[in-house]
Structure 1
Amino acid sequence: MVIEEELKSGQLKNSYLLFGEENYLKIYYKNRLKSAIIGEDDVNFSYFEGKGIDVDEVIAIAETLPFFAEKRCIIVENSEWFLNGNEKMGGYIENLPETTCLIFIEGEKIDKRKKLYKKLSLLGTSCECKRMEPRKLRDWTRALMGRMGKNIRATDLDLFLSYVGNDLQHITTEVEKLVAYIGEAQVIERSDIEDITTVSVENKIFDMLSAIVQKKIGVAMHYYEDLLILREPPMRILSLLSKQFNQLLQVRQMQGMDKYSIGNAMNLQPYIAEKLMRQASAFSKEELQRILNGCLDMEMRVKTGLMPEQIAVELLIMSKEQIKG
């Protein structure tokens, strides 16, 4: 990553954009940048968050000389300026003083056609924080366990990752729980993982999908109710279901390839690819396309106010038209 090289060399830009689906990396680089720019100095630090940020206030602070220091650091988080645009900031970024560093933290989606993105990418550094590819994720997780003085067998590491998914923050939290749970023991065992590890939301969705595929609607509804109890928004559940059916369609289109080839093509762990292959075998390409279209239609109905989100998910689960008959 360019940002990693800049941090190591100390040759920092005056503006940064961190975006993408891996929140752990965004937080990691946000903190490292802040520390590199101003250290523990809170006097010359300003933080803005949310869609209602006053751009004039940000600019006014950026124009203010730092107080008994070389640099001022401003962090602007979740402004959506890189998605919806902000002409004023887009015009200002090229006049940013050398004494100020602006760090923007955004969500998964941005619009690279916007003036602000183009200007910042030209004058500063834009960094997309992506999910790790499977091999790097396994190495990263094993190294994390190693730094905490623990080891794990390869098959048990695969089991652990199948439970927790690929979110680095969730992985870190679950590793810390495991380390505390096993105490002085040196090796994390399969039984430890089964006893204490919290299954990720994505895996709960996967289990719900498995129940739908097997036409076990009562079981699927039980998984759905569990997710609601965990305060997962129905719209996110619907979006994840759409994502899972889209993955099944991709796997079906790669029929004849093995789990390793499919895993590499889709950036998935081989054991996850194997699970998807089993699920996809229950459908034809046409059936999966029809189901995916149904998911997208439900999402549109919710977004346009034609249907409450909780009912939309329930109908999708229960609809016989969405299940192979």
Structure 2
Amino acid sequence: MNYDEFVKYLKQDKMEKNVLLLYGEEVFLKAHSKAELLKKITPAQMPEFNVFEFDGRKYDLKAVDEAIEALPVMSDSKLLTFRNSMIFTISGKDTATKEYKEFWEKRLSDIPEDVFLVFDEEKVDKRSGLYKKFQKQNAFAEFSYLSENKMINWTIGLFRTLGKVISPHDAKYLIEITGEGMMAVKHEAEKVAAFTQGEIQITRADIDAVVVPVIENKVFDMVDAMLSQNAYAALSKLNDLCSLKEDETRILGAISSSVDKILTVKLMTESRLDRTQIASKSKIPPFLVSKYITLSAKYTRENLERLLTMCVDTDRNFKLSQGDKTVLLQRLIADFAG
């Protein structure tokens, strides 16, 4: 299920599924949807005996078994919630152990009808056996980033609830400079609303006065200047980042990531993929895809590949401690754009 399907699912009088997996990049939607779900399925009677919460990868499996098997206390149902159990990942340091995965492989086939299980996960690998079990039963809800148009409309509506008016153009600008989805936009919108006090109309100047763009957005503009052979503008933006005490290694990583994404989008557009396909395959939020498409059209593949190679060389010099890192970043800009 996607978000829209999950909203319809919640409107049913009786929940058809007593085991559900919630995951996805849009944490605001997931948190909101989980809260609405729990309102419907949390036992009203004796919650202290019928609601069990398990957090993280390590919890008492015996306690889980006992909670599932014991009859509800003066209630028609019980609820067990799990947050970041990591049983749906395949590898990596954050994955659950084999013991936990094997436990759930067996346990999930025998859950009483009066027991609700809700898994709230940050990381899910769709290749995992447990995920495929949930997929087969359609017992999951994926909360993906909104499309650009939906995100803009949501932001306009958010400001309306705050007693403000914002144009679609300025809403898009706010979305782009926060770059992290609905939760970040909500946080910044509340700041802008408080800053403007008696003013109704929100302007770009209001946004610039309050909102500090994420480093990825600042670096994106710097990369654009570099690719335009505007070394002065790129160096100016680098100096701004350094004055804010941004870590040089993080700056270089953001440069490399931006260039890589621009190149990836360029190759995808040349292959005639649409925006939805580009967002899915590149892992770029749909509301940011358009600016990557616009920028990728301005520059050649060869130029992007050359900058990416120079970033790799600079990273090597970072690791070999060959000089001051800020100077190395300045040299990268000067050598490429000078």
Please state how far the C-alpha of 1:323 moved relative to its aligned partner. 3.9
Match of 1:17 among 18, 21, 24: 21
Q: Which amino acid aligns with 1:73?
A: L
Q: Identify the range of structure 1 (42-51 vs 165-174) with the bigger mean alpha-carbon deviation.
A: 42-51
Structure 2 counterpart of 1:160, from 149, 152, 174: 174
Q: Give the alignment partner of residue 171 of structure 1, picking from 173, 178, 185.
A: 185
Larger Rg: 2
Paired AA for residue 45 in structure 1 = V
Q: TM-score, normalised by structure 1?
A: 0.76
Q: 1:66 aligns with which of 64, 72, 75?
A: 72
Deviations 1:14-71 (A, max 9, x none): 1111122111112111211111111677412222222333444333323233322222
Structure 2: state its 5+ residue gaps. Answer: 91-95, 280-284
Q: Greater shift after overlay, 312-321 or 138-147?
A: 312-321
Q: Secondary structure at the match of 2:89?
A: helix
Q: Is the 2:224–2:295 Cα contact (8 Å) retained in structure 1?
A: no
Query: Is the alpha carbon distance of 1:97 and 1:320 closer, same or farther for their aligned partners in structure 2, counting shifts above 3 Å?
Result: same
Q: 1:231-250 to 2 correspondence within 5 Å? A: 240-250=254-264
Contact 1:217–1:317 (8 Å) recurs in 2:
yes
Aligned match of 1:4 in 4, 7, 11? Answer: 7
The corresponding residue for 2:33 is 29
Instruction: Map 1:165-314 to 2 at 5 A.
Output: 165=179, 167-210=181-224, 213=227, 214-215=230-231, 216-217=234-235, 219-220=237-238, 222-223=240-241, 226=244, 228=246, 240-253=254-267, 254=269, 266=278, 273-274=290-291, 277-278=294-295, 281=298, 283-289=299-305, 291-292=307-308
TM-score relative to the length of structure 2 = 0.74
Name the CA shift for 1:316/1:198 in 2 (closer, same or farther; >3 Å). closer
Q: Secondary structure at the match of 1:76?
A: strand
- Asked if structure 1 preserves the Cα contact closer than 8 Å seen for 2:148 and 2:288, the reply is no
Q: Which amino acid aligns with 1:174?
A: E
State the one-letter code of the partner of 2:20.
Answer: Y
Partner of 1:90: 105
Report the secondary structure of 2:153's partner residue: helix
SS of corresponding position for 1:95: coil
Q: Distance in 1 between matches of 2:219 and 2:204?
A: 23
Letter in 2 for 1:284: T
* Aligned-partner residue type, residue 107 of structure 2: Y
Note the C-alpha offset of 1:143: 1.2
Distance 1:83 1:20 in 2: 13
Match of 1:117 among 99, 106, 131: 131
* From 74, 77, 86, the counterpart of 1:80: 86
* C-alpha spacing 1:269/1:58, structure 2 compared with 1 (3 Å): closer
Residues 229-266 of structure 1: CA distance to partner in whole angstroms, max 9, x if unpaired?
Answer: 7xxx967x6765454223311443447x9xxx976664
The residue type paired with residue 200 of structure 1 is V
Q: Which letter maps to 2:80?
A: I
How much identity, in percent, do the aligned residues show? 26
Tell me which amino acid in the other structure corresponds to 1:161. I
CA distance 1:83–1:192, change in 2 (3 Å): same
Preserved CA contact (<8 Å) 2:43 2:51: no
Q: Which of 37, 41, 46 is residue 52 of structure 2 equivalent to?
A: 46
CA distance 1:4–1:159, shift in 2 (3 Å): same
Q: Is the CA contact (8 Å cut-off) linking 1:164 and 1:200 kept in structure 2?
A: yes
How far has the Cα of 1:120 moved from its partner?
Answer: 2.1
Letter in 2 for 1:252: K
Size of the alignment, in residue pairs?
309
Per-residue CA distance 1:295-315 (angstroms, 9 max, x = gap): 78999x9xxxx889xx99997
CA offset at residue 96 of structure 1? 1.3
* Structure 1, unaligned runs of 5 or more: none
User: What SS does the aligned partner of 1:94 have?
Assistant: coil
Q: Distance in 2 between matches of 1:321 and 1:115?
A: 50
State whether structure 2 residue 149 is matched by structure 1 residue 131. Answer: no
TM-aligned CA deviation for residue 136 of structure 1: 0.6
